[in-house]
């Protein structure tokens, strides 16, 4: 009797190992499956039909970090246009300075609102650049997934919005966003974030930050329009997204991104 | 008691729960929920109906195209609003103006009723042109403001005024076109 039980257990262990091995092989196949290419994604976007007509767009944003001069015009314009509270930013500019001692200095005094004061660094600055940051309007959005009341959502145009009337201010989305682009508005106690100036883009205007950029480092456009500037850049240039390892599929792309950028 | 009473009880409870949920949904769920997806559809309209503040260059060019003949100017890419602030109600259509203002219009479509404020200090210039190692190398930057003014000014006037705004020597619209006598 005892022996039979032991034999059964052995059998079940073998079964278990078999199942586990099969499961692991399956998972490996899933992870090794090729992700959809950019051409496939564009094709899917072009196939999408939205009614009414004013929704029939699919937006993307490109930041050319090689052109940014860190003047802060975008940060000031965003603050004016969207009336964000002091100390909170929907978009901000980060300054990177990499020295010969190997240090990477990153700062963003008041979000770059008053441009940047000169900063002393140890050693000789080898290279430096500015990186404007904003909501990446991801397709695999970590922030909308955690919203318990469906206040945060993706519009059919690919813009991630927060419905302040529904938002209960729990702050889950603020924690979930890997790009730190959300904050709880201290006046309304609801979540707030960059909307790509939804009130402007639906009227055919560019977001405020894009409108005021003096070096045209910020570019915004419609992926459904074949000859739009974003489409041309994404088709022909080398672009990168922030934190690609998180597989959030951002629709905010960067040109000239350094590996020091976090 | 029938032998199916326990089933009936459960069915009634489930039915009540379902009904209760329907009532709850009818009262608390916004009408437009689910119109486009799992969110309040009306919010799309609300979010898109906020007022626009930054009008862009095209808005200014409607009237100021003469001032904007800047094809060769280095500052052609700088939007008007970066230095001139937001376009407030500084002009009104002629047919809405009073008789005094109408006379000023001189045949134009609009009458100027207010002077647009402008920051004439060096700050708007320095936002872009202070020397910073992080800026693109080819971008024109002033490393030492005092030295820059001293060199430029000495050539022109033979004296040094550190606090002079950039516009004393540079034309903001044509920065390479210096004021008379400088350089």
Window 67-86 of B: residues touching A by CB (8 A cutoff) are: 77-79, 81-82, 86
Closest CA to A262 of A242, A246, A245: A242
**A110 close contact with B: CB closer than 8 A:** no
Q: Which residue of B45, B126, B134 is the best one to mutate when testing the A interface, meaning the one whose CB has the most A CBs within 10 A?
A: B134
Convert the pLDDT of each residue in A125-145 to its tens digit. Answer: 889 999 999 999 999 999 999
Of B18-22, B28-32, B120-124, minimum mean pLDDT range:
B120-124
Averaged pLDDT for residues A96-115:
93
In a domain, B106, yes or no: no
In terms of phi and psi (left: phi > 0; alpha: psi -120 to 50; beta: otherwise), the region of A249 is: left
Amino acid B103: pLDDT: 65
pLDDT at residue A201 in the model? 94
Q: Do A71 and A111 meet the contact criterion of CB atoms below 8 Å apart?
A: no
**Is pLDDT at A109 greater than 90 in this prediction?**
yes
The whole-number pLDDT of residue B183 equals: 43
Are residues A67 and A215 in contact, defined by beta-carbon separation less than 8 angstroms? Answer: yes
More confident residue, A195 or B166: A195
Interface touch B43/A163, C-beta < 8 Å = yes
For residue B61, say if its preceding peptide bond is cis, omega within 30 degrees of 0.
Answer: no
Residue B136 lies in a domain: yes
- pLDDT one-digit tens code per residue, B107-161: 667 777 777 888 888 888 889 999 999 999 999 898 887 788 777 666 655 554 5
Q: Which residues contact A48 (CB under 8 A, 6 or more apart)?
A: A58, A156, A224
The answer for residues whose C-beta is within 8 angstroms of residue B170's C-beta and 6 or more apart is B125, B177, B178, B179
Instruction: Nearest by CB to B54, from A66, A154, A208: name it.
Output: A208
Task: Kindly state the DSSP code that residue B69 receives in the 8-state scheme.
Answer: -
Q: How many residues comprise chain A?
A: 262
A72 to chain B, minimum CA–CA distance in Å? 7
Q: Which residue has the higher pLDDT, B168 or A167?
A: A167
In chain B, what residues touch A53 (CB-CB under 8 Å)?
Answer: none
Average pLDDT estimate for A225-234: 93
Instruction: Kindly tell me if the per-residue pLDDT of A173 is higher than 90.
Output: yes
| pLDDT tens-digit readout, A39-90 | 888 888 888 887 788 888 999 999 999 999 999 999 999 999 999 999 999 9
Of A66, A80, A151, the CB nearest to B86: A80
Tell me whether residue B96 is in a domain. Answer: no
Cross-strand bridge partners of residue B40: B33
Q: What is the pLDDT of residue B160?
A: 46
Helix-strand-coil percent breakdown of chain A, rounded to 5? Answer: 35, 20, 50
Residue B102 belongs to some domain of the structure: no
Copy the structure tokens of residue B150. 């001293």
Report the sign of the C-alpha dihedral through residues A74, A75, A77, A83, in that order: positive
pLDDT at A148: 95
For residue B63, tell me if it sits in a domain: no
Say if B139 falls within a structural domain. Answer: yes
Question: Which of A84, A111, A155, A192 to probe by mutation at the B interface, max B CB count within 10 Å?
Answer: A155
Answer for the pair B114, B88: CB distance below 8 angstroms, yes or no: yes
Residues of A in contact with B86 (CB under 8 A): 80
Nearest of A95, A89, A113, A94 to residue A194 by alpha carbon: A89
d(CA A23, CA A29): 10
Q: Is the pLDDT of residue B106 over 50?
A: yes
Every domain of chain A and the residues it spans: 1-33, 38-139+193-255
Q: Do the beta carbons of residue B175 and residue B75 sit within 8 Å?
A: yes
Share of chain A above pLDDT 70, in %: 94
State the pLDDT confidence band at B177, using cuts at 50, 70 and 90. Answer: low
CATH of A38-139+193-255 given 3.40.50.980, 3.40.190.150, 3.30.70.20, 3.40.50.2300:
3.30.70.20
In this structure, is residue B140 part of a structural domain?
yes
Q: How many domains does chain B have?
A: 2
Question: Cα angle vertex B161, ends B157, B166, to 5°?
Answer: 90
The shortest CB-CB distance from A212 to any of B40, B79, B135 is to B79
Q: What is the mean pLDDT of residues A6-29?
A: 81
Probe site for chain A from B25, B37, B39 (most A CB atoms < 10 A) = B39
In a domain, B95, yes or no: no
The whole-number pLDDT of residue A82 equals 95
DSSP A155: -
Domain that residue B11 falls in: 5-48
- B113 with B101: CB under 8 angstroms? yes
**Per-residue burial over A187-207, b = 16 or more CB atoms within 10 Å of its CB, e = otherwise:** eeebbbbbbbbbbbbbeebbb
């Amino acid at each position: 009797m005892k022996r039979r039980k032991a034999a059964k257990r052995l059998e079940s262990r073998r079964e278990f190992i078999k199942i586990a091995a099969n499961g692991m092989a399956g998972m490996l196949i899933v992870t090794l499956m090729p992700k959809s290419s950019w051409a496939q994604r564009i094709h899917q976007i072009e196939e999408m039909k939205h009614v009414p007509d004013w929704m029939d767009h699919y937006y993307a944003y490109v930041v050319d970090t090689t052109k940014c001069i860190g003047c802060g015009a975008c940060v000031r314009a965003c603050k004016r246009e969207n009336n964000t509270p002091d100390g909170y930013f929907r978009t901000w500019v980060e300054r990177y300075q990499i020295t010969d001692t190997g240090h990477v200095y990153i700062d963003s005094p008041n979000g770059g609102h008053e441009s940047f004061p000169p900063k002393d660094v140890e050693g000789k600055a080898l290279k430096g650049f500015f990186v404007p940051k904003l909501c990446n309007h991801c397709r695999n959005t970590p922030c909308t997934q955690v919203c318990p009341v469906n206040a945060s959502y993706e519009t059919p145009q690919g813009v991630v919005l927060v419905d302040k009337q529904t938002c209960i201010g729990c702050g889950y989305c603020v924690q979930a966003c890997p790009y730190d682009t959300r904050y709880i508005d201290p006046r309304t106690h609801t979540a707030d974030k960059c909307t790509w100036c939804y009130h402007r883009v639906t009227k055919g205007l560019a977001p405020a930050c894009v409108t005021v950029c003096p070096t045209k480092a910020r570019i915004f456009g419609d992926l459904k329009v074949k000859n739009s500037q974003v489409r041309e850049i994404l088709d022909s240039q080398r672009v990168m997204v922030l934190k690609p390892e998180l597989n959030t599929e951002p629709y905010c792309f960067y040109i000239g991104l350094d590996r020091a950028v976090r | 008691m029938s032998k199916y009473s326990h089933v009936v009880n459960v069915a009634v409870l489930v039915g009540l729960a379902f009904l209760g949920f329907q009532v709850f949904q009818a009262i608390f769920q916004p009408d437009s929920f689910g119109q486009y997806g799992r969110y309040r559809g009306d919010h799309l309209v609300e979010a898109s109906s906020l007022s626009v503040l930054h009008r862009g260059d095209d808005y200014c060019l409607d009237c100021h195209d003469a001032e904007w003949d800047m094809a060769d100017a280095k500052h052609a890419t700088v939007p008007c609003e970066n230095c001139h602030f937001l376009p407030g109600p500084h002009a009104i259509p002629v047919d809405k103006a009073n008789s005094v203002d109408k006379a000023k219009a001189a045949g134009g479509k609009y009458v100027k009723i207010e002077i647009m404020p402008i920051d004439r200090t060096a700050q708007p210039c320095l936002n872009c042109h202070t020397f910073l190692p992080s800026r693109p190398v080819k971008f024109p930057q002033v490393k030492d403001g005092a030295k820059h003014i001293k060199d430029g000014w000495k050539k022109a006037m033979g004296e040094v005024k550190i606090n002079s705004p950039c516009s004393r020597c540079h034309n903001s619209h044509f920065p390479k076109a210096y004021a008379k006598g400088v350089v």
